[in-house]
Amino acid sequence: MSPLRDGLVQIYTGTGKGKTTAALGLALRAVGHGLRVCFIQFLKGDWDSGERKAAARLSPELEIHSFASPQWGDHSQADDNTPWWELPPSDDDRKHAQEGMLFARRALTGEDYDIVVLDEALGALNLGLVSTEDLLGLISSKSDKVEVVLTGRSAPDELLKAADLVTDMTAVKHPYHRGVKARRGIEY
């Protein structure tokens, strides 16, 4: 039985860094109070991230499940110089996103979790891997006692209206623009 009486809908969006980090902070706080958290990652393959290592230490209260291809994008639609972020999604990317949506529906409607995070669900939406209607359907199907968090850039108005809490992370300054690459333990 969930200790939450009223599970709400939260969205962390915007161009700034910190959307996933904020969701992980919420997950850490929840685990500290005995809540069970299911963290579902879209678009993020099985790479060596600090959050996955930490979640393994906090299991079974915190689980991270990744639904992404090992290599992003349809490489047949580009040349060798095309950056990965400009590649169109592959059939494999679409398949993984749909598997993630099915898993999310079970997590949101079951009794195993108190909080379900859909990390980069908005990124999957922006890439056409899921639809706004898909995400609204997940929100409307969730158990009343489950809190749901969606992260990613460019949340559409329909999702913003369906949310109880919306945080917009605004990019002001980032070391990436000076050429500083992502650092282990800080950015991943």
Residue boundaries of the structural domains of the chain: 9-76+83-178
CA 181, CA 19: separation in Å to the nearest integer?
Answer: 19
According to the model, what pLDDT value does residue 185 have? 79
Tens digit of pLDDT at every position of the chain (188 positions): 467 789 999 999 999 999 999 999 999 999 999 999 999 999 987 777 888 899 899 999 999 999 998 888 888 878 888 887 788 899 999 999 999 999 999 999 999 999 999 999 999 999 999 999 999 999 999 999 999 999 999 999 999 999 999 999 998 888 887 888 888 777 77
* Tens digits of residue pLDDT in 102-141: 999 999 999 999 999 999 999 999 999 999 999 999 999 9
Architecture of domain 9-76+83-178: 3-Layer(aba) Sandwich (3.40)
pLDDT at 78: 80
Burial of 165 (0-12, 13-18, 19+ CB in 10 A): exposed
The SS3 of residue 62 is strand
pTM of the model: 0.90
Which two three-digit tokens encode residue 101? 């949506």
Q: What is the pLDDT of residue 2?
A: 63
Per-residue pLDDT at 57: 93
